[in-house]
């Protein structure tokens, strides 16, 4: 690549169509069984060869120092490479933070891919996956974000070819507050069911949608449970669930127009400050 070239990569958000917690581990993590799918909501990352590695981000409050997963990904890549990657990275954020949408994990995975492509190191997917798993449980999925079953602590990714062409219109709603992943798992102890909130699996096109972190997160933030029930009552909504560890909720609709109508109704009837996104899950 010539010195002046900027290469742009898109990092997609994800939802968990299903998230089951199958046990607590000795290393502080939980074993999980997740069905993960990407969305057409993306962050964008520009990479430009430079004298040192720097990160700029358009979203206020996002750290651009060594604590950002993008810089951590560069450092993880450099550990394997044995030399400096020297990239000027410009991150344009569209995926909200603390939302359960995997934005930081996606940015990290794409950074590993970009460094591998731009520097020409030709690390295999397996080698990149080992680097990705060191950065976070969700990061390996984003190296090849086809609908996949994720097990272990989430880092063992197995594509689900029979769902490869499945897709659906989706609406996302996120309140102003964020939920951190560690806090969601911690809340599992002492969690209870809120009366009137339905936690049961919902079966759509043969896919069993369920999120076992809902019980934990709804106990602390009951408004999310009530919003899920409101979503389930909206015209055209086929299923509604919390995304990962929250605070975003999603609803699958019959048509894109219904997704837009749900987002408008949510701001009118529930909370005018809600963030929303209407698009597709598993865009083809």
Q: How far is the CB of 119 from ligand C5P (least distance, A)?
A: 25
Choices 8-16, 107-115, 136-144, 165-173; region in contact with ligand C5P by CB under 6 A:
136-144
Which of 19, 32, 89, 119 is close enough to bind ligand C5P by CB under 6 A? 32
Q: Is residue 97 near ligand C5P by the rule CB under 6 A?
A: no
Separation between Cα atoms, residue 61 and residue 67, nearest integer Å: 12
Q: How far is the CB of 25 from ligand C5P (least distance, A)?
A: 8
Nearer to ligand C5P (CB atom), residue 154 or residue 169: 154
Q: How far is the CB of 70 from ligand C5P (least distance, A)?
A: 15
Within 153-172, which residues bind ligand C5P (CB under 6 A)?
153-154
**By three-state DSSP, how is residue 108 classified?**
helix
Choices 43-51, 120-128, 180-188, 268-276; region in contact with ligand C5P by CB under 6 A:
180-188
Q: Which ranges in 120-237 belong to alpha helices (H)?
A: 125-135, 181-186, 214-220, 222-232
Nearer to ligand C5P (CB atom), residue 99 or residue 240: 99
Separation between Cα atoms, residue 96 and residue 88, nearest integer Å: 23
| Maximum separation of any 2 CA atoms in the chain, in Å | 61
φ, ψ for residue 241, nearest 5 deg = -160, 160
Contact 247, 274 (CB under 8 A): no
Nearer to ligand C5P (CB atom), residue 77 or residue 185: 185
CB-CB neighbours of 253 under 10 Å: 24
Which residues are marked as active site? 14, 138
């Amino acid at each position: 690549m010539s010195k002046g070239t900027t290469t742009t990569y898109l990092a997609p958000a994800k939802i968990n169509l299903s998230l089951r917690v199958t046990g607590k581990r000795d290393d502080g993590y939980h074993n999980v069984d997740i069905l993960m799918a990407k969305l057409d909501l993306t962050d964008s990352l520009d990479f430009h060869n430079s004298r040192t590695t720097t990160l700029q981000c358009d979203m206020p409050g996002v750290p651009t120092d060594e604590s950002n997963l993008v810089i951590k990904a560069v450092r993880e890549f450099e550990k394997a490479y044995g030399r400096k990657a020297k990239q000027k990275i410009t991150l344009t954020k569209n995926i909200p933070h603390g939302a359960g949408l995997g934005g930081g994990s996606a940015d990290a995975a794409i950074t590993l891919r970009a460094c591998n492509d731009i520097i020409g190191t030709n690390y295999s997917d397996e080698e990149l996956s080992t680097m990705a798993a060191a950065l976070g449980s969700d990061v390996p999925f984003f190296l090849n974000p086809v609908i996949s079953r994720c097990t272990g602590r989430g880092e063992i990714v197995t594509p689900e070819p029979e769902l490869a062409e499945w897709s659906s219109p989706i609406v996302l709603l996120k309140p102003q507050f964020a939920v951190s992943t560690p806090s969601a798992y911690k809340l599992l102890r002492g969690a209870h069911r809120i009366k009137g909130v339905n936690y049961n699996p919902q079966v759509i096109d043969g896919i069993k949608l369920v999120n076992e972190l809902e019980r934990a997160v709804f106990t602390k933030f009951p408004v999310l449970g009530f919003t899920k029930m409101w979503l389930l009552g909206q015209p055209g909504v086929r299923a509604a669930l919390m995304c990962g560890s929250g605070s975003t909720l999603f609803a699958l609709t019959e048509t894109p127009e219904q997704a837009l109508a749900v987002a408008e109704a949510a701001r009118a009837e529930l909370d005018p400050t809600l963030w929303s996104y209407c698009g597709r899950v598993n865009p083809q």
